Amino acid sequence: MSINGFTEKQFVSILKSQLSVRAPIKSIERLVGRDKELELIAEALYDDGGHVFIYGDRGVGKSSLAATVASKYQSKDNEPIQIPCGRNTLFFQTIGEIAERILRRAGASSSTEIEHNFSIKVYKLKIKDKSKEIKIPKIDSMFKAVDLLEEILNIHSSEPVIVIDEFDQIQKQEERANFAHFIKDLGDRGVNVKFIFTGVASSLYHLLGDHESSFRQLFTLKLDRLYWSYREEITLNAVKAFGLKVNEEIVHSIAKISNGFPYFVHLLTQNLLWAAFKDRELVKVISDHHYKEAINRSIVGISGRLQLPYEKATLDKSHDYLLALWATADSEDFIRYSDNIFKSYLRINEEIFGASPEGNEKPMNQKEFNKILAKFKTKSYGEVLEQVEGRRGLFSYKENLLRGYVALKAMDAGVELKGDEPDQPKISSAMAREKFSGKFGFKSAYPGDPASKIKFRNE
């Protein structure tokens, strides 16, 4: 094969040391661009009873930050405890499971006994050559939960860390609230443990509703997308690890498509390297044809969860829907006015059909376009978009991670979306009127507004 004479095994081993598409990162050496967050979390964890809640978009890097922080603060006598949540996670049951997991890992043997008509598990283990017996009762009160964990955490390690991952998955509000009360009670008793929660949400209120205030005592951190230089750093480091060079535009394009979601940077870079490795020629510099192949491979390998809404919005529909969908992701901004999305649409239409399109290739007018945008909010069109806090004409993606997939599909069709350019600020209508009137020497409210020279389909 064709990178430096590497065998497939050698190639995969270097690849794995650099990239991790599906699993969160756990080591501080590979976590890029989160120094500030790490610093803030460190300060919070120094407080007695200080715990952390990391929230943000799906795929932005919450679990990676949580796992890295956990391995940093967990004392070296054991591993951090990782609890993934699901729809039906129940608080009392989870505490029982944490306890049993710790005991099993500590090498305890278990048996079942009957006490007051209840079966209880009894664990036997040796601690510093002394035999110890621990009974795990049916946990049905906060008191029992706190009591049990206080005893068990001593067995785990001197400075235990527990990660409660994907907290948003828990459906019942009362179960979530139990976690909040629990860490408060542990704190009141002075139990030495650090909790790190993660959850998908645009705001803490979305995640916790009326129980938001119970979590306010935690240090809450909203994790934003990765800045440009860090997106590029991931690609550049991986390419360098193979002794290769890469065209700067490719690195920039990957950063742009990713929209700051590291998942896409890892995915595209991994496929870029596979494309280079599978090349029949010896590769020293990664070039455009490898990038084309990487885009293709990435689309094939992407999770169905992202494919589904895209297909619902565009499959078996006229090209208007496809172009409108691409237009929604054609900006660095996550929250966009329909006017700006429409301008993106006109730009894309022109890029594909030229400056003087005919018939069906002429763009829709804004009214027709807005109807399609409204459809993108509905279930049968994949619920791609949502309206921002009841503000008419202002849209955001329901799941921002999807923007990367939209950009990837557009790129595959030869249209590069402008993920690196923010929208022009919308000006208030009074100011717009003045500008339209030419008061400040402007001919139009939007300088260079493409709509001014375009003939629409029904004109």
Ligand X SMILES: Nc1ncnc2c1ncn2[C@@H]1O[C@H](COP(=O)(O)OP(=O)(O)OP(=O)(O)O)[C@@H](O)[C@H]1O
Per-residue x/- track, 13-32, Mg ion (CB under 5 A): --------------------
Where do the DSSP E strands lie in 264-316?
Answer: 285-286
Hey, is 421 helix, strand or coil? coil
The set of residues, in sequence order, having a beta carbon less than 8 Å from that of 360 and lying 6+ positions away, is 318, 319, 457
Residue 341 partner contact from ligand X, Mg ion, none using kind-dependent CB cut-offs of 5 to 8 Å: none
Where do the DSSP E strands lie in 168-254?
Answer: 194-200, 219-223, 245-246
Nearer to ligand X, 191 or 239 (CB): 239
Name the H helices within 106-141: none
Q: Does 176 bind ligand X (CB under 6 A)?
A: no
Residue 234 partner contact from Mg ion, ligand X, none using kind-dependent CB cut-offs of 5 to 8 Å: ligand X
**Binding segment toward Mg ion, per CB under 5 A, in 59-67, 84-92, 304-312, 384-392:** 59-67
Q: At what angle do helices 319-328 and 401-412 cross, to 10 degrees?
A: 130
Q: Does 34 bind ligand X (CB under 6 A)?
A: yes
Q: Does 283 bind ligand X (CB under 6 A)?
A: no
Question: Which run of H or of E encompasses 125?
Answer: strand 118-127
Nearer to Mg ion, 32 or 250 (CB): 32
Q: Does 24 bind ligand X (CB under 6 A)?
A: yes
Nearer to ligand X, 32 or 221 (CB): 32
Q: Does 254 bind ligand X (CB under 6 A)?
A: no
Amino acid identity, position 451: A
Report the nearest approach of ligand X to the CB of residue 93 (Å).
22
In 3D space, the residue among 147, 134, 75 whose CA is nearest the CA of residue 108 turns out to be: 134
Question: Do residues 234 and 270 lie in contact, with contact meaning Cβ atoms separated by under 8 Å?
Answer: no
d(C-alpha 35, C-alpha 233), whole Å:
14
Question: Do residues 387 and 394 lie in contact, with contact meaning Cβ atoms separated by under 8 Å?
Answer: yes
Nearer to ligand X, 258 or 340 (CB): 258
Q: Does 83 bind ligand X (CB under 6 A)?
A: no
Report the nearest approach of Mg ion to the CB of residue 250 (Å).
28
Q: Does 225 bind ligand X (CB under 6 A)?
A: no
Residue of closest CB approach to Mg ion = 63
d(C-alpha 427, C-alpha 122), whole Å:
69
Report the nearest approach of ligand X to the CB of residue 263 (Å).
4
**Binding segment toward ligand X, per CB under 6 A, in 31-39, 272-280, 404-412, 426-434:** 31-39
Q: Does 31 bind ligand X (CB under 6 A)?
A: yes
Q: Does 63 bind Mg ion (CB under 5 A)?
A: yes
Size of residue set near ligand X by CB under 6 A = 21
Report the nearest approach of Mg ion to the CB of residue 63 (Å).
3
Q: Does 80 bind ligand X (CB under 6 A)?
A: no
Residue 262 partner contact from ligand X, Mg ion, none using kind-dependent CB cut-offs of 5 to 8 Å: ligand X
Hey, is 412 helix, strand or coil? helix
The set of residues, in sequence order, having a beta carbon less than 8 Å from that of 163 and lying 6+ positions away, is 66, 67, 70, 80, 81, 82, 83, 195, 196, 197, 198
Q: At what angle do helices 338-353 and 319-328 cross, to 10 degrees?
A: 120
Report the nearest approach of ligand X to the CB of residue 306 (Å).
11
Hey, is 16 helix, strand or coil? helix
Among 194, 266, 290, 409, binds ligand X (CB under 6 A): 266
φ/ψ (deg, to 5) at 387: -80, 145
**Binding footprint of ligand X on the chain (CB under 6 A):** 20-21, 24-25, 31-34, 58-64, 166, 200, 234, 262-263, 266
**Binding footprint of Mg ion on the chain (CB under 5 A):** 63
